[in-house]
């Protein structure tokens, strides 16, 4: 396996590369993974070409992963603003965030950034969840139950501007697109969610916590920033909780959907992802290795079942985790899904049909090849170009 590579070159070479079908880097979408290895950590990239994924290679983060942790937090996020095309990846084992610039044309590391009060933890008990809102990167440290607030500077560098203690470790984390509100889920056992207002200087003010129906974990937020959608980490059929987000950043009444089989039989629904047009909600059923598609509407607020797809290698998967759409418009085109397996991990690729249902691609899943003996760890991925909200 290559330890250094340039994604741009891999995307545009005509004769020496499997991606010769691509016209240029800007027109070829790809997915980047945080491999979260138990030891020296790496990130990897796979390009989406003609309905399949081509493995490009890997880069070291310079830190250590944890080999496990919460399946509902994002350990990989992409930030695009002007000339800055940034990728941020958390290293729970060394409690830092690795920053890369030019992820679309080179993937060049610019540094590792830390919060002195942050502790990602080690082994499967740890994790550092990442989310971007406005020009801030928020890092939820499972080992210390702190949230670090980093200002994103030019050139993809980070500046720590504050730290906030929260009641429990963050099992899920998402900021509103305008960066004014941060939503947190505390997972199974705590059965709570939280919201925090973000001041112009990055200072966090907590409004909750609020009682959840079940183990709210993964969270997504509507483009208009009016609703927070939580997936429940429970050993029951798909269950989703939706909270209105008030103008002051507090949360309204919990609306609970499913849990009784009405949203399908997939077990555990920790990770949720809205389609770019917000007509569909894709749910990762972490324990049954399935993907459930639901229709979504705000007025009236509601969810309804479309279909469920059992991943091809379901019996080999320890757990599925994060999902993200490939296209920035419509229903998303394709869905990337991370598969936590042993000894290697994989990325599944599902075609999204016109009605929101999904069908796994013929060559899926695609292996993430690692060589440092760190064992399985892949739980998080991010799409480039990123969804607009």
Distance in angstroms (rounded) separating the CA atoms of residues 370 and 350: 23
285 near 262, Cβ under 8 Å?
Answer: no
Distance in angstroms (rounded) separating the CA atoms of residues 240 and 246: 19
**CB neighbours (10 Å) of residue 362?**
10
Q: What is the pLDDT of residue 192?
A: 97
Q: What is the pLDDT of residue 3?
A: 39
Q: What HEC string does 191-219 produce? A: CEEEEEEECCCCCEEECCCEECCCCEEEE
Distance in angstroms (rounded) separating the CA atoms of residues 222 and 210: 19
CA 340 to chain CA mean position, Å: 14
Q: What is the pLDDT of residue 303?
A: 98
CATH match for 7-384 among 2.40.128.20, 3.40.50.10130, 3.20.20.80, 2.130.10.10: 2.130.10.10
Q: What is the pLDDT of residue 20?
A: 32
Secondary structure class of 126 (helix, strand, coil): coil
288 near 314, Cβ under 8 Å?
Answer: yes
Sequence-separated (6 or more) residues with CB below 8 Å from residue 23:
none
- Where do the domains of the chain lie? 7-384
Structure tokens at 325: 């759409």
Structure tokens at 361: 């691609």
Tens digits of residue pLDDT in 180-234: 999 999 999 999 999 999 999 999 999 999 999 999 999 999 999 999 999 999 9
Distance in angstroms (rounded) separating the CA atoms of residues 198 and 251: 14
Q: What is the pLDDT of residue 143?
A: 92
Secondary structure class of 90 (helix, strand, coil): strand
Q: What is the pLDDT of residue 5?
A: 46
Nearest CA to 334 out of 288, 378, 273 is that of 273
Q: What is the pLDDT of residue 157?
A: 98
Distance in angstroms (rounded) separating the CA atoms of residues 261 and 242: 17
Counting as low any pLDDT under 70, the low residues of the chain are 1-27, 122-125, 370-376
**CB neighbours (10 Å) of residue 50?**
7
Given its phi and psi angles, is residue 225 left (phi above 0), alpha (psi -120 to 50 degrees) or beta?
left
Sequence-separated (6 or more) residues with CB below 8 Å from residue 347:
31, 33, 46, 53, 336, 337, 338, 339, 365, 366, 368, 378, 381
Q: What is the pLDDT of residue 18?
A: 33
CA dihedral 207, 212, 216, 220 (to 10 degrees): -50
């Amino acid at each position: 396996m290559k330890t250094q590579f340039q994604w741009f070159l891999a995307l545009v070479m005509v004769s020496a590369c499997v991606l010769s079908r691509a016209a240029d880097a800007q027109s070829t979408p790809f997915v980047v993974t945080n491999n979260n290895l138990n030891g020296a950590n790496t990130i990897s990239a796979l390009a989406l070409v003609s309905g399949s994924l081509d493995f490009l290679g890997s880069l070291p983060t310079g830190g250590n992963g944890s080999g496990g942790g919460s399946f509902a937090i994002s350990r990989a996020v992409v930030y695009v603003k002007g000339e800055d095309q940034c990728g941020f990846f958390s290293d729970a084992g060394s409690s830092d965030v690795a920053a890369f610039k030019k992820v679309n044309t080179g993937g060049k590391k610019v540094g590792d950034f830390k919060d002195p009060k942050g502790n990602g933890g080690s082994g499967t008990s740890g994790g550092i969840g990442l989310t971007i809102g406005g020009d801030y990167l928020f890092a939820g440290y499972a080992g210390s139950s702190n949230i670090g607030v980093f200002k994103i500077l030019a050139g993809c560098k980070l500046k720590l501007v504050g730290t906030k203690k929260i009641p429990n470790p963050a099992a899920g984390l998402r900021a509103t697109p305008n960066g004014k509100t941060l939503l947190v889920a505390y997972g199974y056992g705590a059965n709570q969610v939280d919201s925090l207002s973000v001041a112009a200087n990055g200072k966090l003010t907590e409004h909750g916590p609020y009682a959840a129906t079940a183990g709210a974990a993964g969270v997504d937020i509507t483009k208009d920033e009016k609703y927070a959608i939580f997936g429940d980490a429970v050993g029951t059929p798909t269950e989703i909780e939706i909270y209105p987000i008030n103008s002051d950043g507090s949360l309204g009444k919990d609306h609970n959907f499913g849990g009784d089989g009405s949203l399908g039989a997939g077990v555990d629904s920790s990770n949720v992802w809205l389609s770019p047009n917000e007509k569909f909600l894709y749910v990762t059923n972490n324990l049954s290795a399935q993907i459930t598609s639901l229709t979504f509407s705000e007025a009236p607020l509601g969810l309804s079942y479309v279909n469920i797809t059992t991943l091809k290698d379901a019996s080999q998967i320890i757990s599925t985790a994060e999902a993200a759409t490939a296209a920035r418009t419509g229903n998303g085109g394709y869905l990337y899904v991370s598969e936590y397996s042993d000894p290697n991990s994989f990325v599944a690729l599902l075609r999204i049909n016109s009605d929101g249902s999904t069908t796994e691609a013929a060559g899926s899943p695609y292996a993430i090849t690692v060589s440092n003996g760190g064992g399985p760890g892949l739980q998080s991925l991010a799409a480039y170009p990123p969804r607009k909200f």
